[in-house]
Structure formats: structure tokens, C-alpha cells
Structure 1
Amino acid sequence: MGEFVIKLPDVGEGVAEAELVEWHVKVGDLVREDMILAAVMTDKATVEIPSPVDGEILWLGGEIGQVIAIGSPIIRLKVEGEGHAPAAEPAKPAKAEEPKPQPAKAEPKPEIKAAKPEKPAAPVVHAPAAAPLAIGAPRAEGDKPLAPPAVRLRAREAGVDLRQVTGTGPAGRITHEDLDSFFARGAQKPVVSGLAPDTSVKEIKVVGLRRKIAEKMAIAKSHIPHITYVEEIDVTSLEELRALLNGKKRADQPKLTLLPFLMRAMVKAIAEQPQLNALYDDDANVIHQHGGVHIGIAAQTPSGLVVPVVKHAEARDLWGCAAEVNLLAEAAKTGTATREQLTGSTITITSLGSMGGIVTTPVINYPEVAIIGVNKMMTRPVWDGAAFIPRKMMNLSSSFDHRVIDGWDAAVFIQRIKTLLETPALIFVEG
């Protein structure tokens, strides 16, 4: 038999370390070749580590949440043959030698036997018997009342705290007669409400994607002075156009949602205000203004918030944007999104769909300088100058980096998007 060492592989270009987010095995498990042993994460991309050989797990190197350097040993396997990696062999004698000195463990056994005669002595010393026989007085909190199991069960079903019951048996033991007397007094019987305080505290370690989200949000809020601008949009005409296009779409075309229209409106608005499509390096005091519009779409997944990116939205039409959004949404939901799909955004859209609320205050996706928040759509009565008419209304709640974007520029940008969404034919006008 030999030992096989699995090291953390190179999980991406330029990546020097990865966070261990999941173990699929434990020490002693038998594994087969290609069986998934662990999962690590870097830059929000999760990578599974398969076993290259059959064997038995001898050692796991790291705890969930630990950051491990590329090339570090993470698993040792016992395998048929000589195994590999001489560095692993010194560990083998250490394991073989430790079990051999086990005869020394035979000596403690007589000591355990010697301890056994003392156990009968403990009941004889039974301190509770000498404890104050507080007959007629309630027990102090923390004192355990003496009662047989049947009495305890009866008291529990009746919602009675046995510390309030006077015990007349030996050493203050509570009997069924004591319970009967307690019930007969009536006034002292507690009212059973079925409600009880819950004093439990559950510790949840912040690891993996949740930790990366926390770190990024902390950086965004501590570095970026946010300004949030909210505007109301009448999307009645847009919804009518969307329904018309979906009704006439080809079989190979995706169903249109609001997002592709918003993306195309953003592309047109950015062409007039390119400073909104930028990343701010606050360490170097340099603004990187991008020509390509790479729109991040904040998406909630079972693992947490991720932001897949529609690259070069300026080069995609309405249907192209819709198809890419669908592809990225599926990859994010199933956890198969690649690092390339999750990085490189220059401006972000965030939406909670029907739960979008009336107003939100989105946090900018650092180091970007703007984020567009979509609130829920509602049919509301709107005064047209002569009467109230039903219109489909929606708010955009958008945040901007006030170090880079002035309030006036933010307002001009959102007003341009408003015009395009309220008159959707303009989205298709070139120039």
C-alpha cells in the first residue's frame, strides 16, 4: 500500500489561492477515480476537485472557510501500490509507529478498574440527602427537584414547574400525592400558555460566496459616497410593445422581458454620457472609462448574490441581449457560471422582480460608478389633465459614486433612460 497526495490545482489564470467551501468526503471514506472530493471558490467561481485515483481518505487538509495556496496538499489517500510523492512517505511511518506503542494503553485499564470501586461510594455520600429538606418552600432556581419519572411526566404534561411543588417524600422527593395537593390549591397552578422563551443562539460561519459578498459590500459602502436618485417611469407603452413582439417572435427567439429594453436604453444613454460607464481606481486616482458597455445583472441564487455580465451590450440587439441574459441566468442558477462570465462589468442592473418594492437604495458594484435599480411594476391611476386613467408605473432607484458623478449628471442620465422607456420606439432609432 502507498500514499497519494492531492494538491490544490491551478483553478484559474493569475489565481494564487482559493477558499475551501465544501468537503464531500471525510477521513475513512473509500473513493473512486473522478469522484468529487471537495469544492473551492475564487472570484465567485466554484471549482470542484475530483479524485484522480481510487483509495481511502487518510487526511483532509483544511477547514471550511480556510484560504489555501495553490499547490498546497489538501488530501492524502491510501492507495494500492507505492503511491507517489516521497514527501508523503514520512507521514506513513508516523502513522504506523503511533498505533504500535498502543500496549501503553493497556496499563490505564487497571487504573479504570481501580476507579470503579469508588463509584458505589458516590451514591453513599449522596449530598442531596443532606441538603436542606425545604418542605413547604419552593426550590431556588437551579435546584433540581427530586421526583420519579412518572411524576415528572405528569407535571410536564400539566405545564407544572416541579420547583414550585413541595415534596414530602424522603429527601424532599415529590410524589403523586404532592402533585395532587398542588393542583388542589389551584391558585398556585401556573397558566399554560404554550409559549416559551427561546434562548438558543446558532453560530453560522460566514464562508464562501457569502463572505465574498460581505467583503465587497463593506468595501463599496466604506469607499464610495453614494447618491441615490429615484424616478417614476410610465411603462404602459413599453409593455404593450413587449407583448406585441413576444406574440410575433420566431421559435428560435427568446421571450422578451423588461431587461433587454432597459439594457438598450442604457447603451443609448451611455453614448451621450460615457463617464457613467467607468471604473474608479481610488488608490491611483484614475478613472477607467470603457468604450464597451459590459452590463452586470445582479442575480439571486441559492448560494447568494452573483453578478453575471453581458459583455458588449452595445453590439447586441434586443433579442441578442435577451438570449445572453437567459444563458447567464441559467448558468448562475445552476452554479456553472465561469469566471469569465462573472467578471468585467462596467455598470450594473439590480432587480428584485415583483418583490422590488417602491424604492430601494442599491449598493454600487465596486469599483463601478453607477448601478440601476428596477422596482416593481404596478398599475396605478394617473391624472392625464382631464381624468384619472390606469397606467403601468415603475420606479428606477439608481445609485452613483458622488466622487465621480455629480447629481446633475445622474439626473440627466436617468431622465434620458426615462424618455427612451416611455417612448420605446426611440430605442430602435439609430444615431
Structure 2
Amino acid sequence: MGLYVFHFPELGEGLHEGRIEKWLVKPGDEVKEDDALAEVENDKAMVELPSPVDGKVVDIKVPDGTTVVVGDLIITLEVAGEGNGDAAVLQDEKTSGVQQAGLESVAQHVAQASPSAPATESPAHTQHAAPVKADDAIRSVAHDVLATPGVRKFAREQHVDISQIHGTGAHGKVTKEDVATFVQGGDHVVVGEQVAAHEMQSSDGHNTQVPITTQVTSSTAVGGLVTIEERVALPGIRKIIAQAMAKSKYTAPHVTIMDEVDVTELVKLRQEIKSLAQEREIKITYLPFIVKALVATVRKYPELNASFEEETQELVLKRSYHIGIATDTDRGLMVPVIGDADRKNMWTIAKSIDDLASRARTGKLMPNEMKGSTISITNIGSAGGMFFTPIINYPEVAILGVGRITERPIMKNGEVVGGQMMALSLSFDHRIIDGALAQHAMNELKNLLANPQLFLLEV
């Protein structure tokens, strides 16, 4: 048997720390690879930390509520494999000189943590223990990505830097197939991939409640008036939202056009299919219809389904349709992504929206579920709003804002009739998209929403 020392990994690009909210295991528990070890909150989302190996929990090194940085020792696991029966340390080929210098102290910590290690065993003895196979070794590199030791060994054999590979496995883990594809010249990285989804718009009118921590309560006197002040520390997620909003607003010149559409027929259709949705245990809202209409629209006007690269001054037209759906949560605005929405029917999209929104509100979304959108939708109608000016998810070039549906008199064929009117707001990057093009796209979107039978062509 060997001892696997698990250091806190980098759970996503730029994520260097996290807070262990709750351990889901205890010493003595048996775990399988990819089983959730703990719930971790970071600047991106609440995520579950998967076990990198099969084994038994030996010792939990940090309690619930502890903030840790990448490389911190957090848990040890007993694993099957060759070794000296106590503990061993694998000096990964990626280990830097500084990391190697600290390897002795790591070995000493392992020796002290191992319940089977003799009390008289010296750190030096532990450090010079017989080498173990990579699959039974300890991950000791501070900036590791999620991957099993076997996959890391395969990557080293192929002379590949595993940190350059985008993982497609559970929790974003790099698999052997990912390494092989990379070696063959493939690229799993999404072109124009954004930072995590909550970096999207939050100044779109949502009155989001964000958990905050009181720092100081004080008072100031100005002009004879005393004001009681309470200073609070912004959560990391709100800081990142603020940075992203500022970058988008001050980089891309925003223009917003506003319009409304008679969706009386769409309202009737939704009402008619509610019973079918209930039979399938699906919550059917207007969003799946809007997603399909938006996909059809940007197919016709591809300039809206694009990103802009500053360095090369190129417009990158996306031939995939990944739609971001803004979701209001008590931690901030999260935007999970409906991938390949053009290939999904209405039922599948409805299921995905409900599942992703539910997990966003409970903090269970994985970072990779909030990346890669090509154009986004933000819905202020659910909060009772109508027209607004949503902020573009830079470097995307457009975002659709959806307002509430209101019933009011309208003129139709020369007569005043009751109509169900939906408010729409389309913000776009005026460097790339002219007003006329944006209005043509809006007209196409309105036509689809007003005539839902056209959706049959998109299913």
C-alpha cells in the first residue's frame, strides 16, 4: 500500500485559492476516482472537488471553512500499489527547483501523517524510500491540473505539457484521449473561450443579493450631519463581475436597440404543450423558444455570433451555437451555457435550462459549464422588468435582453385587439455591428417569436 498526498489543485484558469466549505468524506471512508471529496467555493462558483484516485481516506488536513491556496496539503489517501508500505514521494518532471527544494519537508509531513509509519523513522529515510510507479504516486506539483497519475505519465512520455491540454473528462479532468488528441494536432480549447460565466453581465438591471461580510461599522461627520457607515468586503465573485463589466463597457462601444413583438401565438402554444411537458417532467418556459429563435437569427446574421480579437483586429465568426443563459442567484449572476443549442430540440433545451439554473442557484455548477458561450441571453422579465441595456459578455459582440410579456390593446388588420407583447433589448458592439444590421436581426427574431410554427423548421 502507498500514501497519496493530495494538494489543492488549480480548479480552473486563474483560480489560485478556494474555501473548503464542507468535507463530504471522513477518515476511514472508501472513495473511488471522481467521487466528490469536498465542496469548494472559489471566485468562479461552488464546485465539488473530485478524488484523483481510488483509495481510503487517512487524514483530512484542513477543517471546514478553511481558505487554501493551490499546492496546500488538504487530504491524504491510502492507495493500492507498490512501495515501501509507508509513504513515498514522486518528483514530478514538472517540479521546479524551488519545489524540489521543499520536497524534503513534504516527505517529512507525509511520514508524520502516516498511521503506519514507525515513530523512529527519520524524514531522510522517508525521502529515500523506494520509487513507486506513477499510478501509485503522490501528486506534489503546486499548479497541477486534474488528471490521474497514469495520464500524467502518458503526457510526460509524449513530451507534452499537460497544463496546455483542455480536459474533457468529469470535472474538467484531462484524459488519456485528450493527451492523444493533443499530440495528433487536435485542440480542445474553445476559440474565444471566455472566463467563467459569472464574469458576464450583472449590471443589466438584476437586483442581485450577494452574501457579504461586515468589516467595520463607523460614523462620519460632514456638514454637521453624522452618517452611520457599514463597510463590507466584496466577495471574490462580485469583484470579478465588476472587473469584467468595466472591461466590456470601456472596451466595446455599446449600442442597444429596443423593440417589442406580439407573442400571442407563442403564449397559446406554450399553454397547449404544458400538459405534454408535465408528462415528460419538464418545466417549459419561454426561454427554450427564445434560444431556438436566437440560434436561427444568428445563423442568418453570423456577425452577431462572434467575438472580436483586439490584437489581430479580427472578427472571429463562430460556427457553433453555444447560448449563455443568465441566472440570478444569491451569489451573483451566473451564466451557464447551453452547448450546441442548434442540435438540440425544444424539450432538451428546456431540460438543460432547468437543470443548469437549479444547480447555479445551489452552487453546484462546474466551471466548465459556464464557459464557451458564443452569444448570451439575459432575462429581466422574470423580475418584472421591460426594456434595459444589458452589458455584452466581452469578447462576444452581442447580447439579447428579454423583458416581461404584457397584455394590452394593439392594432391588427385595422382593428383594436388584445395582444401579448414581449419587450426585447439587443446590445451590440458598434465597432463590428451597424445599427441597420442589428435591426434586421431583431426583425428576424421578432418574426420567429411571432410565428412559433416556424420553430418546426428548427427542431
Common fold: TM-score over 0.5: yes
Is the contact made by 1:18 and 1:42 (CA closer than 8 Å) also made in structure 2? Answer: no
The letter for the 2-side match of 1:240 is K
C-alpha spacing 1:220/1:430, structure 2 compared with 1 (3 Å) = closer
Structure possessing the higher relative contact order (Cα contacts under 8 Å, 6 or more residues apart)? 2
| 1:7 counterpart letter in structure 2 | H
Matches of 1:377 and 1:275, distance apart in 2: 28
Percent sequence identity over aligned pairs:
32
Q: Counterpart of 2:42?
A: 41
**SS where residue 202 of structure 1 aligns?**
strand
Please list the CA deviations of residues 203-262 of structure 1 after superposition, one character each: whole Å capped at 9, or x if unmatched: 22432x222222221221121111101001111111011111223457226242111111
Q: Distance in 1 between matches of 2:433 and 2:290?
A: 20
1:87 aligns with 2:105: yes
Q: In the alignment, is the contact (CA less than 8 A) between 1:44 and 1:342 conserved in 2?
A: no
SS in 2 for 1:211: helix
Q: Which of 370, 373, 378 in structure 2 is aligned with 1:345?
A: 373
Q: CA deviation at 1:295?
A: 0.6
* TM-score of the aligned structures, taking structure 2 as reference length: 0.59
The 3 A distance-change label for structure 1 pair 90 and 292 is closer
Distance (whole Å) between structure 2 residues aligned to residue 281 and residue 44 of structure 1: 27
Task: Give the match for residue 233 of structure 2.
Answer: 204
How far is 1:19 from its partner? 2.9
Instruction: Say whether residues 1:280 and 2:298 are aligned partners.
Output: no
Q: 83-92 or 297-306, which moves further after superposition?
A: 83-92
Aligned ranges for residues 13-412 of structure 1 at < 5 Å?
Answer: 15=13, 17-22=15-20, 32=27, 39-41=40-42, 43-44=44-45, 46-48=47-49, 53=57, 55=59, 68-69=69-70, 72-73=71-72, 75=74, 86-88=104-106, 199-207=228-236, 209-249=237-277, 251-252=279-280, 254-384=282-412, 388-412=416-440
Q: Which secondary structure state, in structure 2, belongs to the residue aligned with residue 201 of structure 1?
A: strand
For residue 426 of structure 1, report the CA deviation from its aligned partner.
2.1
Q: What is the letter of the counterpart of residue 451 of structure 2?
A: T
Partner of 2:141: none
Q: Distance in 2 between matches of 1:286 and 1:33?
A: 56
Q: Residue 381 of structure 1: CA displacement?
A: 2.0
Report the counterpart of residue 146 of structure 1 in structure 2: none
Counterpart of 1:292 in structure 2: which amino acid? S
What residue is the counterpart of 1:150 in the other structure? none
More deviation, 333-342/15-24:
15-24
When the two chains are superposed, the root-mean-square deviation of aligned CA atoms in Å is 3.9
Deviation for aligned residue 1:297: 0.4
The amino acid that maps onto 2:286 is L
Aligned partner letter, 1:202? R
Moved more, 323-332 or 394-403: 323-332
Compared with structure 1, are the counterparts of its residues 430 and 48 closer, same or farther at alpha carbon in structure 2 (3 Å cutoff)? closer
The one-letter amino acid paired with 1:201 is E
2:42 partner amino acid: M
Deviates more, 1:356-365 or 1:334-343: 334-343
Contact 2:289–2:449 (CA<8 Å) still a contact in 1? yes
CA offsets 1:313-358 (integer angstroms, 9 cap, x no match): 1112222221221222222222222233211110101003332412
Q: 1:24 to 1:382 in 2, by over 3 A?
A: same
Distance 2:16 2:412 in 1: 58
> How far is the alpha carbon of 1:414 from its aligned partner?
0.6
Contact 1:277 1:290 survives alignment (8 Å): yes
Deviation at 1:408, TM superposition (A): 0.8
Deviations 1:380-407 (A, max 9, x none): 1223465543211111011001111111
Q: Structure 1 length normalisation: TM-score?
A: 0.62
Give the 3-state SS of the residue equivalent to 2:229 in structure 1. coil
| 8 Å CA contact retained: 2:410, 2:418 | yes
Q: 1:430 and 1:310, CA in 2 relative to 1: closer, same or farther beyond 3 A?
A: closer
Whichever residue aligns with residue 382 of structure 1, its letter is: I
The one-character-per-residue Cα deviations of 1:119-143 (angstroms, maximum 9, x if unpaired) are: xxxxxxxxxxxxxxxxxxxxxxxxx
Letter in 1 for 2:284: L
Distance 2:456 2:38 in 1: 51
Shift of 1:23: 5.3
User: Does structure 1 conserve the Cα–Cα contact (< 8 Å) formed by 2:7 and 2:73?
Assistant: yes
Quote the Cα distance in structure 1 between the aligned partners of 2:400 and 2:375: 8
Secondary structure (helix, strand or coil) at the match of 1:203 reads: strand
Alignment check: 8 A CA contact 1:235 1:393 kept = yes
1:409 partner letter: L
| Bigger CA radius of gyration | 1
TM-fit CA distance, 1:284: 2.5
- CA gap of 1:260–1:308, structure 2 versus 1, over 3 A, is same
Equivalent-residue separation in structure 2 for 1:238 and 1:311 (angstroms)? 24
Contact 1:19-1:40 within 8 A present in 2 as well: no
Contact 1:39 1:49 in 2 (8 A): no
Determine if contact 2:327/2:334 at 8 Å carries over to the other structure. yes
| 8 A Cα contact 1:41 1:47, kept in partner | no
* Aligned length in residues: 314
Number of the residue aligned with 1:128: none
Show the counterpart of 2:11.
11
Contiguous gaps of at least 5 residues in structure 2: 30-35, 77-84, 90-103, 111-224
Using a 3 Å threshold, how does the CA distance of structure 1 residues 198 and 346 change in structure 2: closer, same or farther? same
Q: 1:84 to 1:370 in 2, by over 3 A?
A: same
Offset of residue 44 of structure 1: 4.2
CA distance in 2 between counterparts of 1:415 and 1:19 reads 46
- Relative distance call for 1:279 and 1:365 in structure 2 (3 A) is same
Matches of 1:56 and 1:429 in 2, distance apart? 55
C-alpha change, 1:387 and 1:202, in structure 2 (3 Å) is: same
Matched to 2:16, the amino acid is: A
Deviation at 1:305, TM superposition (A): 1.1
Which whole-Å CA distance do the structure 1 matches of 2:326 and 2:458 have between them?
A: 28
CA distance in 2, matches of 1:23, 1:294: 31
Are residues 369 and 199 of structure 1, via their aligned partners in 2, closer, same or farther at CA, if it must alter by over 3 Å? Answer: same
**Structure 1 residues 53 and 197: CA distance shift in structure 2, 3 A:** farther
Which residue is equivalent to 1:138?
Answer: none
